Amino acid sequence: MAARSAPLVRVVRSGLEESVHLGDVAVCDATGRLIASAGDPNRLVFVRSCTKPVQAAVAVDATRLELSDRLVAIMAASHNGEPVHLRAVRDVLRLGGLTEADLQTPADRPLDGASARRVREPRPLYHNCSGKHAGIGADDVAIGIDGCGAPVHGMGLRAAATMYAGLSDPDRQGRLAPAVGRVVTAMRAEPYLVGGRNRIDTEVMRAAPNVLAKEGAEALTCAVALGDGLGIAVKVGDGGYRAAGPALIAVLDQLGLLSGGARRRLAKRASPPVLGGGRPVGRLEPVLTLRTSR
């Protein structure tokens, strides 16, 4: 019998529990062994943008271009569309002999509010997946449909965690080993390009350099503890992004993967305020408890 989703994060307003986000967590090693979980670790999910580090590795392996960390990171990104991101996407296109007209992403506005207010109309360049598409197009890599127009794959949450655990040991990836190592190095070197302002993956990687994190659609977030070989997949059942950060940080903390300094840097994201009339009147509180597997 499948396990039920578990409470991950509750919303407290003026001392009253107003709502609870349910979800599921899987923590695995690179062999697929389940280390810890909450809710249903076998829940089927669309991994969508959480596959971008792997997709970027395929593109890096196929290309003949000389790519800096900055350009590899934007290929693995779901970026905010801030100026720093757009410059990186343009540079990938230019290096591959392409222009914005070659992008197959839908026209969109930047995810970042301040950046979105500065643009006149949607463009393919602003789409959060434009870095991935620029990298694919730069060397005619065929990658088999997501919100950006690319096919999307469903897999168990446990499989997603195992996929991320594999990033901690590129040598297990066969021919792709050098490319996987290259993507991991780039994402660690350029965490702001992976997401941007107020993005949980960027903030986690900045606070805890031993952790590689990537946001996906519908509040799926994946991470890998590089020194420990643990892959993590967290899915908020209702797709509520506000719960994704607190849930991921709670998992990392319960696994002992955050230093005291990292906990302090992430404190506001671990339990963000609930506002009323522009003032704090409550907060989000993680309530999940990981169960370990024998």
Tell me the backbone φ, ψ of residue 140, rounded to 5 degrees: 55, 40
Q: List domains and CATH numbers for the chain.
A: 6-292 (3.40.710)
Q: Tell me what pLDDT residue 141 has.
A: 42
Whole-model pTM: value is: 0.92
* Banded pLDDT at 275 (limits 50, 70, 90): very high
- Mean pLDDT for 281-288 is 98
Residue 26, strand partner residues: 37, 233
What is the amino acid identity at position 102? D
* Banded pLDDT at 194 (limits 50, 70, 90): very high
- Mean pLDDT for 222-240 is 98
Residue 273 reports pLDDT greater than 70: yes
> Could you tell me which residues come within 8 angstroms of residue 237 by beta carbon, excluding any fewer than 6 positions away?
5, 21, 22, 23, 24
Give pLDDT tens digits for 5-33.
999 999 999 999 999 999 999 999 999 99
Whether the CB-CB separation of 204 and 87 falls below 8 Å is answered with no
- Mean pLDDT for 260-280 is 96
Which of 32, 23, 85, 55 has its CA nearest to residue 214?
Answer: 55
Tell me the two tokens of residue 264: 């302090």
Which of 30, 47, 86 has its CA nearest to residue 225?
Answer: 30
Residue 137 reports pLDDT greater than 90: no
- Mean pLDDT for 154-171 is 95
SS (H, E, C) the chain: CCCCCEEEEEEEECCEEEEEEEEEEEEECCCCCEEEEECCCCCEEECHHHHHHHHHHHHHHHCCCCCCHHHHHHHCCCCCCCHHHHHHHHHHHHHCCCCHHHCCCCCECCCCHHHHHCCCCCEHHHCCCHHHHHHHHHCCCCCCCCCCCCCCCEEEHHHHHHHHHHHHCHHHHHHHHHHHHHHHHHHHHCHHHHCCCCCHHHHHHHHCCCEEEEECHHHEEEEEECCCCEEEEEEECCCCHHHHHHHHHHHHHHCCCCCHHHHHHCHHHHCCEEEECCEEEEEEEECCCCEECC
- Mean pLDDT for 74-87 is 98
Give pLDDT tens digits for 245-261.
999 999 999 999 999 99
Residue 191 reports pLDDT greater than 60: yes
Give pLDDT tens digits for 41-55.
999 999 999 999 999
Q: Tell me what pLDDT residue 142 has.
A: 38
Q: Tell me what pLDDT residue 64 has.
A: 84
- Mean pLDDT for 104-121 is 95
Q: Tell me what pLDDT residue 291 has.
A: 96
Give pLDDT tens digits for 142-155.
333 344 455 667 89
- Mean pLDDT for 91-99 is 94
- Mean pLDDT for 74-83 is 98
Residue 3 reports pLDDT greater than 80: no
Q: Tell me what pLDDT residue 152 has.
A: 65
Which of 286, 66, 57, 278 has its CA nearest to residue 179?
Answer: 57
Q: Tell me what pLDDT residue 151 has.
A: 61
User: Could you tell me the CA-to-CA distances from 227 to 74, 167, 286 in Å, in that order?
Assistant: 24, 11, 25
- Mean pLDDT for 190-203 is 98
What's the mean per-residue pLDDT of the chain? 93
